[in-house]
Each structure stands twice: as structure tokens, then as C-alpha cells.
Amino acid sequence: MSEEQDKQRNARKKENNRLLTKAAIIGVVAGLLGGGIAYGGLSAANLNSNTSSSTASSSSSNTGETGSVTTSSSGTTKVNKSTTTSGTMTSAYKKVQNAVVSVLNYKYTSSSSSSSDIYSLFGYGDSDSSSSGSSSSKKSLTLYSEGSGVIYTTANGKGYIVTNNHVISGAAKVKVILASGKTISAKVVGKDSTSDLAVLSIDSKYVTQTASFGDSSSLQSGQTVIAIGSPEGSEYASTVTQGIISSPSRTITYNSNQMTVIQTDAAINSGNSGGALVNSNGQVIGINSMKLSSSSSGDSVEGMGFAIPSNEVVTIVNQLVKKGKITRPQLGIKVAAIAELNSYYKKQLGISTSLKKGLYVVSVTSGSAAASAGIKKGDVITAADGKTVNDVATLHSILYSHNVGDKVKITVNRNGKAMTFTVTLQAGK
């Protein structure tokens, strides 16, 4: 083979290799572009379709598996009125929204003025009207505080409202602002500082909705609730906050009295007192009463609000409507719900019982009904009137269904042995 033939053959090999390489590269790129083109082609078709549609209407939507894209011919947008926003708690709120009111506490304030001298400004002026200069003194009603309330029933031409006692405490006059914004006068039917509850009445012609009470004994931790009221006053009336039941039964001390309350993390602020704690069925399961804003060490605390359980509320308000006051029978003991105590507090209280439920008797007042019957510190109350007792609210409910002087059977567990005592109820102080 001549040298010239070798050159020609090598040249043909190089050309063939170049064409094969080029074909391979084109094949790879075409494979990538092939998928892209198919995807791009579909995208282009969809885009063209949307563009065409937007010629006839202002906008259209292209919905895919991962979301949606809305296009318009002019860059404008509009509200989709077919969207539904109603949720479970919205429905619950609507069942009580017009039953929750703002409660206004008015007190008399004195004002005086005198032109005689500057000392009169501080109460040292001459009060004799014949003295030089002039002086005057008058009393006027001034808005002292604001809270919330719940209209729960109507009877005999009256609408009845439950609120907190501390909301209307010391009031010379009480008014309520209805959900409609109308302000009307209210009368105090009865109040009770121990339970921190009070009942007001208004003319029933103003009542457009009443709230119903749910069973607070059926509450569970983690259950969703909403709080409705007027935080920081009537300016924010009908404010709704949502949270959960942190504890359905928490024993606290209020005004030196033990109370069993519902603990929730639904925001409760000043002005929410007397408002409604509502379950998902739109039932009032508690009356919001207080919040813990700081610990004993001064640390800020969030999400710890408390409400009076509805079962106790019903018992108290019925007595207030009937008698105007509560004559409360009492055992004369301090107790702690065992189910609420962790091992640390059990150790602090010296509780060694293996029982998981019941009320541990922390102390017994000398000469009290319980002491006279034979109940001792360290006993665990398990039943009253034959009904199981696991929390303070239940015990209170049973006791409050009786009158002073009634005899009640109290069952306790003492060192593992069940014992029943007959207690003659005494009047509480």
C-alpha cells in the first residue's frame, strides 16, 4: 500500500470517527432535549391555552399536582367568592356571640373646687360657705372598670347574665354593652365572693341570644376551646381567642378559699373576666376568671388562664337567682386532688397513699364539721353522698346541693381501709 493510500485511509477513519462522535453527542443531547421538548411542548400548549382563555376572561388558573398558577391579561386579580372559610370553632362562636356582653362598673367619685386658696386643693380649705371665696363639692358616677358577662337564660321578663363578682364589686351602678353595641342598665341579682360569681339582670326585650352550659366534668386535656370577651375593655368587645384545655381540674387558692378551675392557654386578659370559655359544640364550659401573669419569683408567665367550671357556675347562679346570696355549707378542711399532684408535691405534703384518685385531706380545722365527725388529716376522701369524688369541684357541687345542718355521708380511705363518716354541715364563714 502506497504512502498516499495510507494517508487517504487514515483521513477516512478520522472523518468516520468524527461523524460517529458527533452522532453520539447529538443522540445524547437529543435525548435530553426530547424530554424537554415534550415537557416544553405541553407547557407551551397549556400556556397558549391560558393565554387564549384570558382573552375571553380576565384570569384563569392552571392547577397541577403541586399547586396552582393564576394568569390574567392585565395583571389584575380578584376575590374568589366561592371560597369557604367557616371552621368548627367559627360555628361554635356563632352560637354564643350575641350572648356575650361587656359589663361596666360605675362608682361615685367626689370632686370639689374652691377659689379661696391653694390649700383647699389638698382638703385643708375653709368649708364655711360664708368665708371668702367659693367652694363646691359633688359626686358623679365614673366608669371604674370593665369586664365581660354571658346571657344564659330569660325568665319573667328578665334576661340573666353571669359574670365575675370582682367585675362588679363595689359598683354603684352597673351597665352592659350588648353585642349590638347598645348600652343598657343592669341590676345586680346576687353575688358571691367565694366563688367569684355574680348574676345580673336586664330587660328580656334586649336579649337576642342565650348561651347554653356544657358539662365541665367531661372535659379532657388537649381539647380545643375558645375564650370570648372584652379584653382591655369594650373597645375590643367580642374578641375571640383559641387554645386548649391544659388541665380540666386545677386546684388553686383564691381569697383564702380553695377553687377548682379549668386551666387553658387561650389568651385571657384584663377585661376577659366574666366572659365565656366555649367548647367546639358552642357550649359554655367555663366562666373566664383570672390569669397567671408572673410567677412567685417574678418571672413572666404566658398561656396560663383559669375559668370557673360550668357545673359549679350553674349551681351557684341558680342559688343567687333564688336567694340573692350563697349560704355555703362547709366541712372545714383543706384538700388536694391526688390526680393533680406529681411525686414532688406528694413528698412535700407527706402523701404516702398508693391511691391514684381522691381528695387528700391536708388539714382539718379544729371544731369544724369534719373534725366533729372524726375525719382526720391524711384521710383520702373518695365519695360524698355515695357519689365518687376525685376533684374539689365535685365535692363542692355535692355540698352546695345541701343546706346548713344537713347530714352528709363522707367516705374516706384511711391507711388502706374504707371508712364512712356522717357529717353535719356547718355554715361557712
Of 183, 170, 194, 157, which Cα lies nearest the Cα of 106?
170
**CB of 335 within 8 A of CB of 300?**
no
In sequence order, what DSSP letters do the residues of 14-77 get, joined into one string?
HHHHHHHHHHHHHHHHHHHHHHHHHHHHHHHHHHHHHHHHHHHSSEEEEEETTEEEEEESSS--
**CB of 263 within 8 A of CB of 309?**
no
Of 193, 328, 316, which Cα lies nearest the Cα of 256?
193
In sequence order, what DSSP letters do the residues of 217-265 get, joined into one string?
GG--TT-EEEEEE-TTSGGGTTEEEEEEEEEEEEEEEETTEEEEEEEE-
* Long-range CB contact pairs, 12-16, < 8 A, 24+: none
Of 394, 139, 55, 155, which Cα lies nearest the Cα of 251?
394
At what angle are helices 310-323 and 392-400 packed, to 10 degrees?
20
What are φ and ψ of residue 375, in 5° steps?
A: -70, 135
What is the rounded CA–CA span in Å between residue 144 and residue 104? Answer: 8
What is the rounded CA–CA span in Å between residue 332 and residue 113? Answer: 52
What is the rounded CA–CA span in Å between residue 269 and residue 123? Answer: 37
For the annotated catalytic residues, the residue numbers are 166, 196, 273
Of 305, 240, 265, which Cα lies nearest the Cα of 89?
240
